[in-house]
Amino acid sequence: PSNYGDGFRGRVTMTEALQHSINTVAVRVNQEVGGENVVATAHDMGIDSPLVANRSLPLGTEEVNLLELTSAYIPFATRGFAAPAYAVTKVTTSKDTVLWERDDIETVRVISPDLAKDMTHMMHQVMISGTGRRAHLGNRPAAGKTGTSQEWRDAWFMGYTGDLITGVWVGNDDSSPMQRVTGGGVPAEIWQRFMSDAHQGWAMTALPGTYPARNDRQDGDMRRLLSELSRDFGKIAGNRSSSSSSSSSGRSRKPSWWPF
């Protein structure tokens, strides 16, 4: 498989892979854990369509609809609880007589709160500095993921806050290619506008996991920098000792403000 940019980043963290939609990492994870486990997890999360456990499964080669894909994000937003999706809550007459009303929905825990938090953390980075930057909601905590199928036939943005989960799909009814539309473009912008309006007047709700990611590469660079500084200061200290000896013999003397 190849990525949208056809580049190769080498070793990356899981956060970086999700943040930049690196397909090769998704394929390797599928091979590591087994396609059957991926299918079982997807069904637990809310996918109803049949899925084939092949190597291309992480690339989106199995078709699902917008409602079930949006439903599969519920456990990430609810600290691990899944719930069935539905469209009708109540049926009434013109005189408001209730003919039918949906019973309370029973939720089922499918992932742990810590795992939901970790997934939210990674998808928060997608919106902060990854492929979903156009969906960013400013100060309101949110997380989400972009998706683009081959030849730009489908473009998605799935995301959520602590209050609302929304999925956006863009494409042609006849499955013909679009004009290079990606999930991080039009779908992300639609999602951002809708969610901004939908949350008007709502208090800010916390979403565990929405904090900046630690950059292991930057940490490594900092450790190397400090190591090099320590070595260089050691050399300076050695030169200072030599200078002190020279000064005591009268050959050289530095001003009192000299730092070393």
pLDDT digits (tens, 9 = 90+) for 2-17: 555 666 777 889 999 9
Per-residue HEC secondary structure of the chain comes to CCCCCCCCCCCCCHHHHHHCCCHHHHHHHHHHHCHHHHHHHHHHHCCCCCCCCCCCHHHCCCCCCHHHHHHCCHHHHCCCEECCCCCCCEEECCCCCEEEECCCCCCEECCCHHHHHHHHHHHHHHHHHCCCHHHCCCCCCCEEEEEECHHHCEEEEEEECCCCEEEEEEECCCCCCCCCCCCCCHHHHHHHHHHHHHCCCCCCCCCCCCCCCCCHHHHHHHHHHHHHHHHHHHHHHHHHHHHHHHHHCCCCCCCCCCCC
pTM score, whole prediction: 0.78
Q: What is the pLDDT of residues 19-69, one digit of tens each?
A: 999 988 999 999 999 999 999 999 999 999 999 999 989 888 888 999 999
Q: What is the b/e burial string over 187-210, where b = at least 16 CB atoms within 10 angstroms of the residue's CB?
A: bbebbbeebeeebeeeeeeebebb
pLDDT at 223: 66
Please give the share of the chain, as a percent, with pLDDT higher than 70: 85
